[in-house]
Chain A
């Protein structure tokens, strides 16, 4: 089953590559996305035992990221049927093939416990997304692709240095040389502390830049701004979680060594800096896709802070993985619709979305309310858990800073979103062929309903899964 999880999207990539018809391709693409989700659910219900000497393990952390990625991917794939119909001016082969290769590599990240293999898969996700950011084939998108590729590649290379240091620590300590997570955790006490410390710094910087934590986020607004809506959704709701999973693995290792306090403090500092950075740049953002990118910087910051706080906040961080990826899906997919309809992503030109596109406008508005952490949506639950945990632990300053940033971000985002959604459509507004249809509105609507559902009711199996995962990340006394 685990092999099927990896192979199926690859087969899908080959099939979509071979199909010569642009109309048919997104439909086949969605079928593979559906099959992937089916396998994922099957794996969650009936988890296979550890295989290949500890290389492949589907643990609770992997399950969370796998499920959230697979669900978001399915909605993006269904959306692509409607969206790519409006992009007939160019072939959609690259986008379907690239997304499926990325899905395969993403699944591999979630099921492997070998850090070297995880790194390889993570790098594949980075590279496979690069041609998709360049989908629009203009000067702006090539600039975004270049920045994304260079910064993420250098970042991930730094993470590789970190992994090498970790492997070297096992050699110096004369324990069995290995990069298997379970072996490393077992031998953690004996590892050479200097090398381990250096390794953690490099891993944090490397995976942090892939995740887009400030101050390593400079590629994010460009890449998210120029990528098509569904690619943006996958970047902000999928790839971000994979990098976070990599950080969770490092965190597990830190728990076993004596480095955990240092790592936690670094996470809190970088997380708060990300939130501050998002708060500053969110206000008066003239481009609504770039605004969403800063919102993504904010949310990775929230997850980092929560992980750094530890305790109950970790539960919040894990739940936030789901909440954030679903809500980001809503925002990016509807912003894709708005972009198609107005042929502009400047908030100065886009006015009166509710009149012109009642469904997309309403969903964009609802997504904005959800993503800023208002009740009754899922992000309220996760953010509230994190903040209350901060106060319970006596880290009042962290909690206060967190709340102030959330408030500023809410206002900043409202200043862009509300004038866009409300008001009249400008008279000189360009008219395009885009109309809301079931295929382009259905997927964000489905995602929005899920965000709402998780806000009022968490299904029992999911709750068990989250608690299991939280226990894996608990600080041992």
Chain B
């Protein structure tokens, strides 16, 4: 089963590139939602069956796959924007950087002192590559929505790494971590809708009234 999880991680990496390369906001929200659903399935593939596992799977898929994308889509609709215009760095350079980071993370993970059982799978490189892609989106895009997408992706990368730590993290803490990240994103979604109302735009480069003179 764990090798099937590996196949899914390849899919996760592909979705990173989709989000890095697209300018359509709805599309990148959909991509990160799909990524969330895939991540929701993963724990079921690598851990033995138990009811709290089912619970966690349902919560992750519901939140990452449906609730948060819904919230983001609502913000997109009410702001009447479709595309991320003029990012700080163009799409082709970000894609190339993303490819570079992914390659580097595979090379880097090969050098890391991994637990022998984890060496044959791509959990660690996939996790690092997803975190890096998230960071790339966070830093190169102007729109608040895309920044939330970047944060979600960063969170997904951390989640992949967390899959390796089932013994160290008790279920309660794991659930707490997940819940926190979800609530955080949820609050961001609400703030997003407020920004839109105050500035009638979701462009964070317009958030400049608080500057040092």
Write the residues of chain A forming the contact surface with B, with a CB cutoff of 8 angstroms.
Answer: 114, 116-117, 119-120, 123-124, 126-127, 130-131, 134, 138-140, 142-147, 149-150, 153-154, 157, 160-161, 164, 167-168, 170-172, 177-179, 192, 194-195, 221-222, 225-226, 281, 286
Q: Contacts A116-B177, A160-B158 known; A154 to B168 CB distance under 8 Å?
A: no
> Which residue on A lies nearest to B117, using beta carbons?
A171
How many A-B pairs fall under 8 Å by CB?
A: 116
The residue from A154, A178, A222 contacting B210, defined by CB atoms under 8 A apart: A222
| Interface residue ranges of B185-204 to A (CB < 8 Å) | 187-188, 191, 194-195, 198-199, 204
Asked if B173 and A120 make an inter-chain contact with CB atoms under 8 angstroms apart, the answer reads yes
The residue from B114, B177, B209, B213 contacting A139, defined by CB atoms under 8 A apart: B209
Asked if A153 and B151 make an inter-chain contact with CB atoms under 8 angstroms apart, the answer reads yes
> Which residue on B lies nearest to A172, using beta carbons?
B115
> Which residue on B lies nearest to A178, using beta carbons?
B168
Complex A-B: 8 CB contacts under 8 Å? A116-B177, A127-B187, A146-B144, A150-B151, A157-B155, A178-B168, A179-B168, A226-B210
Does B55 make an interface contact (CB < 8 A)? no
In the complex, which residues of chain A have a beta carbon less than 8 angstroms from the beta carbon of B91?
Answer: none
Determine the distance from Cα of A120 to Cα of B131 in the docked complex, in whole angstroms.
Answer: 20
Q: Which 9 A-B pairs have the closest CB atoms?
A: A177-B168, A167-B168, A120-B176, A116-B173, A177-B167, A123-B180, A143-B207, A139-B198, A222-B210
In the complex, which residues of chain A have a beta carbon less than 8 angstroms from the beta carbon of B4?
Answer: none
Asked if B188 and A150 make an inter-chain contact with CB atoms under 8 angstroms apart, the answer reads yes
| Interface residue ranges of B106-147 to A (CB < 8 Å) | 112-115, 131, 138, 144, 147
Does B1 make an interface contact (CB < 8 A)? no
A149-B188, A160-B158 given. 20 additional CB < 8 A pairs? A114-B173, A116-B174, A127-B180, A127-B187, A131-B187, A134-B194, A142-B191, A142-B195, A142-B198, A143-B209, A145-B191, A146-B195, A150-B147, A150-B151, A161-B131, A171-B165, A172-B114, A179-B168, A221-B210, A221-B212
Write the residues of chain B forming the contact surface with A, with a CB cutoff of 8 angstroms.
Answer: 112-115, 131, 138, 144, 147, 151, 154-155, 158, 161-162, 164-165, 167-170, 173-174, 176-177, 179-181, 183-184, 187-188, 191, 194-195, 198-199, 204, 207, 209-210, 212-213
Q: Contacts A150-B147, A150-B151, A179-B169 known; A160 to B177 CB distance under 8 Å?
A: yes
Determine the distance from Cα of A138 to Cα of B199 in the docked complex, in whole angstroms.
Answer: 10
Determine the distance from Cα of A251 to Cα of B213 in the docked complex, in whole angstroms.
Answer: 38
Nearest-CB distance from B165 to chain A (Å)? 5
The residue from A142, A168, A194 contacting B194, defined by CB atoms under 8 A apart: A142
The residue from A154, A164, A194 contacting B162, defined by CB atoms under 8 A apart: A164
Determine the distance from Cα of A145 to Cα of B191 in the docked complex, in whole angstroms.
Answer: 8
In the complex, which residues of chain B have a beta carbon less than 8 angstroms from the beta carbon of A222?
Answer: 210
In the complex, which residues of chain B have a beta carbon less than 8 angstroms from the beta carbon of A114?
Answer: 173
The residue from B115, B131, B164, B191 contacting A149, defined by CB atoms under 8 A apart: B191
Asked if A157 and B154 make an inter-chain contact with CB atoms under 8 angstroms apart, the answer reads yes
